[in-house]
A and B are shown apart, each in its own frame.
Chain A
Amino acid sequence: MSAGEPSAREPTPARRAFAAILAKDLRVELRTLESIPAMALFSVATFILFRYGLDRTSLDGSLAAGVLLATLLFAAVLAINRLFVAELEQGGFDAIRLAPVDGSALFAAKAAALVVYLLALELVAVPAFAFFFLDSWAGLGPLCLVLVLVDLGLAATGTLISSMAINSRARDLLVPLILLPLLVPLMIAAAGAAQPLLAAGGPGYEDFGQWLGVLTLYDAIFALVAYAVYDFVLED
């Protein structure tokens, strides 16, 4: 297809398959704007709901961390639900199975696309959250590090569960059902790290390293598990 066409026998290198699928997904998202705007709108609407549900005009500490992270996780479920819809409806899965491409390239590309979506969501949602609720913006810098680790973990588990759910009868139902309990350790660690960062008296760093360690462990374990089992999800 492209300029440096490999010979028919040679399998496509995983890196090129990865780049091709990722570029395809990002281009589709850019043209259709299916996931990211919906996630951003959803998160802003949720903030407003929290403002009245909690009856608070400013948040700090654990409440701030909880509202922000819960909103981001629920918004992520929207994108995770839609991650494989196009592959199923337009035969992407069959194409991948026919192509001389490793299944894990599809997994890595989809997870990377999901990370991009989540970063785009956070570009909107975190400033909106700070604007609505935070008195001090000093903790936002280190918070970005926490959110990136959360995104990586979400991408690993989300991509795995999404590709299983899409092939089932109850697809939109299964993603939140299975994913939310799986995300509990991620939420615990992210909230543990974010809570002192968003404290009322300026950012604190209690046990920051420990929670970053748990987040990294979570990301690593689920990335490895998903990578190991992904071929079995794709096989047919």
Chain B
Amino acid sequence: MYPKGLRTLALATVATLVAGFALVFYFAPLDADQGFIQKIFYLHVPMAIVALVGWVVAAFWAIRHLRSGDSAHDARSYIAIHVSVIFGVAVLITGAIWARAAWGHWWSWDEPTLVSFLIVFLLYCTYYPLRYAIEDRERQARYASVFAITAGAFVPLNFIAVRLAESLVHPRTFATAEGGMPTKMWITFLVCFAGIGLLWVTLARFELSAKSTSANLARLRRALDGDAPERPSAGRPTATVPVRATQS
């Protein structure tokens, strides 16, 4: 039912995440400045990086889709954006919680990474209205790919602009904390990062298999309907030809 290796991948994801969280709570030292709340770092930062990488991956698949015209690449691009947007919601929520605990505000406009992430997230949210406002399947796929490429170019540019706007006024408080991160924290961070990365891949592959399964189902159902001799609801006497024509 599921494609090959998906079960193994899912188990590996669970194992890595459990190991990662065990390290977070029992192995990584408490942060000197922030104490326990700093542990949200092991969830928040990997998710943010994975989401951004996911968006770049979406641009990569979009380029392949435009070059080859293969709609499977478009599906991959769509799923990469979709899973990254879901991760993005989690990043913004965990970021707000962390900001509240560390700085006393739910939101900090002085933190360029947070602000850039919000802007990029907003841009990718507009992918859905664009995609679903276009009825023609092929054009929908093409425009979605064009969007994915444009937005992919936008991500680094936006980070540069926001960083420049802030660094003029505010010193980077986190650069020092991260630069001097102890080895134990690094190990924990890397395990969590691997776990979150695997989670992304697993979710993307599940979504992909769900998509192709429902597409197959729709195709079978249409074939079944088309082969049925007479349907009272269908207005046209020979439904086979037009139905088949729309599906290809």
B158→A184 contact, CB < 8 A: yes
A157: chain B residues at CB < 8 Å are: 150
Pick from B66, B119, B135, B151: contact of A184, CB under 8 Å: B119
Pick from B129, B134, B146, B157: contact of A232, CB under 8 Å: B146
Smallest Cβ-Cβ distance to B115: which chain A residue:
A184
Chain B min CB distance to A189 (Å): 6
Say if the beta carbon of B245 comes within 8 Å of chain A.
no
B134: chain A residues at CB < 8 Å are: 167-169
Chain A min CB distance to B117 (Å): 12
Say if the beta carbon of B93 comes within 8 Å of chain A.
no
> CA A236 – CA B129 in complex, angstroms?
21
Chain A min CB distance to B217 (Å): 26
Question: In residues 170-187 of chain A, which contact B (Cβ within 8 Å)?
Answer: 170-171, 173-174, 177-178, 181-182, 184-185
B145: chain A residues at CB < 8 Å are: 229, 232
Q: What is the 8 Å Cβ interface bit string for chain B, positions 125-148, against chain A (1 contact, 0 not)?
A: 010011001110001001101110
Say if the beta carbon of A57 comes within 8 Å of chain B.
no
Smallest Cβ-Cβ distance to B142: which chain A residue:
A232
Say if the beta carbon of A225 comes within 8 Å of chain B.
yes
A-B contact count (CB 8 A): 90
Q: What is the 8 Å Cβ interface bit string for chain A, positions 217-236, against chain B (1 contact, 0 not)?
A: 11001100110110011011
B122: chain A residues at CB < 8 Å are: 181
Smallest Cβ-Cβ distance to B134: which chain A residue:
A168
Say if the beta carbon of A203 comes within 8 Å of chain B.
no
Chain B min CB distance to A225 (Å): 5
Smallest Cβ-Cβ distance to A211: which chain B residue:
B164
> CA A225 – CA B147 in complex, angstroms?
10
Pick from B133, B157, B165: contact of A221, CB under 8 Å: B157
A178→B164 contact, CB < 8 A: no
B157→A218 contact, CB < 8 A: yes
Smallest Cβ-Cβ distance to A214: which chain B residue:
B161
B135→A169 contact, CB < 8 A: yes
> CA A157 – CA B154 in complex, angstroms?
11
B146→A168 contact, CB < 8 A: no
Size of interface on A: residues with Cβ below 8 Å to B? 35
> CA A28 – CA B154 in complex, angstroms?
33
Question: In residues 158-209 of chain B, which contact A (Cβ within 8 Å)?
Answer: 158, 160-162, 164-165, 168
> CA A201 – CA B245 in complex, angstroms?
70
B133→A178 contact, CB < 8 A: no
Chain A min CB distance to B225 (Å): 26
Chain B min CB distance to A124 (Å): 28
> CA A221 – CA B151 in complex, angstroms?
11
Question: In residues 58-84 of chain A, which contact B (Cβ within 8 Å)?
Answer: none
A212: chain B residues at CB < 8 Å are: none
What are 10 A-to-B residue pairs whose CB atoms are below 8 Å? A164-B146, A164-B147, A174-B126, A181-B119, A181-B123, A184-B161, A189-B161, A229-B145, A229-B150, A235-B142
Q: Which residues of A contact B (CB under 8 A)?
A: 157, 160, 164-165, 167-171, 173-174, 177-178, 181-182, 184-185, 188-189, 192, 207, 210, 214, 217-218, 221-222, 225-226, 228-229, 232-233, 235-236
Extra 17 A-B pairs, beta carbons < 8 Å, given A222-B153, A228-B149: A157-B150, A160-B146, A164-B146, A165-B130, A168-B134, A169-B133, A170-B129, A171-B133, A173-B133, A178-B123, A182-B151, A185-B158, A214-B160, A217-B160, A221-B157, A222-B150, A226-B150
List of 9 A-B pairs having minimum Cβ-Cβ separation, nearest first: A185-B161, A168-B133, A181-B123, A170-B133, A188-B161, A178-B126, A169-B133, A229-B146, A168-B134
